[in-house]
């Protein structure tokens, strides 16, 4: 008889496209994953996955088996969630990802509170400015501050976030403030760079149109808070969510530039897999995080007389 564990391993391998990625998601070694898939194939008497040195894909038999496994997994999941929603406390592992700044300030402090209330849970938090592949990394909850593109995931929106361009008064004394978007091409712009980043192109709203500029600068980093520190030190112009720099704008340490052609907005929200019945641990964590994020954004925007949308 085929075990549910073997089905779970096969499905994760098919979804991530590699034994290594499946192993990371399931906390198993690639050799264990490979052995379990091979044993499953021997039991079924057919090849489920084709392997090359560069990629892995489903065979026709594997595709048919995977579709049947989806039904099995959904039935098991629904049975588990029915027990949870019947009054059992949240339990099990929860994989969470968030941007560095918000993660440190808001999400990380929530974890001990969540665990104090729900001691049968484990929380694995990954903080990064990089947008992780939520399927490949088996993420349960992702805090995102971006233009949302994960259509296969459910979005619980916190707020639409205004962004601003700003710089320290000292920098603007040395380099006169830009009067139109094209002037940014002649300024030191502090850029958020990492593999796959698009932050070296800034898109501003100019009336009913947008203009995208290939800005540049002498220094860049893969940490948004480092960019804020550099802006405060007078190193250049930075593009930031308004709530992240509201305190510095309020006390005059940073000054907004090009206020009439602001950057495009982004969405702050929580992404989680689309399921008919959400695990109690996921729902509870999403509820807590949504409330905390909304409160944090509201408090920060109040410093500059704004409210979240």
Q: Residue 185 maps to which CATH number?
A: 3.40.190.290
Confidence band for 259, pLDDT divided at 50, 70 and 90: very high
Mean pLDDT computed over 97-125: 94
Residue 201 covered by a domain: yes
Give CA angle at 190 (187, 195), nearest 5°.
Answer: 130
Domain that holds residue 182: 163-264
What is the domain-level CATH number for residue 129? 3.40.190.10
**Residue 104 and residue 169 share a domain:** no
Residue 68 covered by a domain: yes
Confidence band for 86, pLDDT divided at 50, 70 and 90: very low
Residue 307 covered by a domain: no
**Residue 64 and residue 98 share a domain:** no
**Residue 75 and residue 63 share a domain:** yes
**Residue 20 and residue 49 share a domain:** yes
| Number of neighbouring beta carbons within 10 Å of residue 301 | 20
Contact present, 164 and 44 (Cβ < 8 Å)? no
Q: What is the pLDDT of residues 115-126, one digit of tens each?
A: 999 989 999 999
Long-range contacts of 55-63 (CB under 8 A, 24+ apart): 55/17, 55/18, 56/13, 56/17, 56/18, 56/19, 57/17, 58/14, 62/14
**Residue 254 and residue 275 share a domain:** no
CB contact set of 77 (below 8 Å; sequence gap of 6+): 275, 277
**Residue 103 and residue 75 share a domain:** no
What is the domain-level CATH number for residue 66? 1.10.10.10
Mean pLDDT computed over 268-276: 83
- State yes or no: pLDDT of 302 exceeds 70: yes
Predicted local confidence at residue 160, as pLDDT: 95
Confidence band for 247, pLDDT divided at 50, 70 and 90: very high
Assign 223 to helix, strand or coil. Answer: coil
Predicted local confidence at residue 212, as pLDDT: 94
CB contact set of 300 (below 8 Å; sequence gap of 6+): 243, 244, 246, 247
Predicted local confidence at residue 11, as pLDDT: 86
Residue 309 covered by a domain: no
Domain count, the chain: 3
- State yes or no: pLDDT of 191 exceeds 90: yes
Q: What is the pTM of this model?
A: 0.73
Mean pLDDT computed over every residue of the chain: 88
Residue 308 covered by a domain: no
Predicted local confidence at residue 150, as pLDDT: 55
**Residue 200 and residue 135 share a domain:** no
| Number of neighbouring beta carbons within 10 Å of residue 86 | 8
| 75 compared with 269, residue with greater pLDDT | 269
- State yes or no: pLDDT of 110 exceeds 70: yes
Confidence band for 83, pLDDT divided at 50, 70 and 90: low
Assign 209 to helix, strand or coil. Answer: strand
Predicted local confidence at residue 261, as pLDDT: 96
- State yes or no: pLDDT of 84 exceeds 60: no
**Residue 133 and residue 70 share a domain:** no
**Residue 253 and residue 133 share a domain:** no
Mean pLDDT computed over 220-245: 96
Domain boundary residue, one of 70, 85, 100: 85
Domain boundary residue, one of 69, 85, 101: 85
Q: What is the pLDDT of residues 23-80, one digit of tens each?
A: 887 778 888 888 888 888 888 888 988 877 667 888 888 888 888 888 887 777 666 6
- State yes or no: pLDDT of 222 exceeds 80: yes
Mean pLDDT computed over 130-152: 79
Query: 104: which 2 tokens?
Result: 């440190």
Mean pLDDT computed over 142-171: 89
Assign 152 to helix, strand or coil. Answer: coil
**Residue 123 and residue 63 share a domain:** no
Predicted local confidence at residue 18, as pLDDT: 83
**Residue 154 and residue 275 share a domain:** yes
Domain boundary residue, one of 50, 85, 120: 85
Predicted local confidence at residue 90, as pLDDT: 81
Predicted local confidence at residue 80, as pLDDT: 61
3-state secondary structure 232-277: HCCCCEEEEEHHHHHHHHHCCCCEEECCCCCECCEEEEEEEECCCC
**Residue 173 and residue 253 share a domain:** yes
């Amino acid at each position: 008889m085929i075990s549910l564990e073997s089905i779970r391993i096969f499905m994760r391998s098919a979804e991530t496209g590699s034994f290594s990625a499946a192993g990371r998601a399931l906390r198993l070694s690639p050799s264990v994953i490979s052995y379990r898939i091979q044993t499953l194939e021997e039991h079924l008497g057919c090849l489920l996955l084709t392997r090359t040195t560069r990629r892995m894909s489903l065979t026709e038999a594997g595709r048919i088996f995977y579709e049947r496994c989806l039904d099995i997994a959904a039935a098991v999941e629904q049975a588990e969630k029915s027990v949870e929603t019947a009054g059992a406390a949240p339990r099990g592992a929860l994989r969470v990802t968030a941007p560095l700044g918000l993660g440190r300030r808001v999400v990380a402090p929530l974890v001990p509170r969540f665990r104090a209330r729900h001691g049968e849970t484990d929380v694995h938090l990954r903080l990064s400015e990089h947008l992780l592949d939520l399927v490949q990394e088996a993420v349960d909850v992702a805090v995102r501050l971006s233009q949302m593109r994960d259509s296969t995931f459910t979005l619980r929106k916190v707020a639409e976030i205004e962004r601003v361009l700003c710089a320290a008064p000292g920098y603007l004394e040395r380099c006169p403030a830009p009067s139109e978007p094209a002037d940014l091409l002649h300024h030191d712009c502090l850029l958020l760079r990492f593999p796959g980043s698009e932050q070296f192109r800034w898109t501003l709203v100019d009336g009913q149109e947008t203009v995208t500029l290939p800005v540049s600068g002498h220094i860049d980093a893969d940490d948004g808070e480092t960019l804020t520190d550099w802006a405060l030190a007078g190193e250049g112009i930075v593009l930031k969510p308004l709530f992240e720099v509201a305190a510095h704008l309020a006390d005059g340490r940073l000054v907004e530039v090009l206020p009439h052609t602001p950057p495009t907005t982004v969405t702050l929200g929580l992404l989680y897999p689309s399921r008919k019945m959400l695990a109690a641990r996921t729902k509870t964590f999403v509820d807590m995080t949504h409330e905390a994020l909304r409160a944090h954004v509201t408090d920060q925007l109040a410093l500059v007389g704004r409210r979240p949308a």
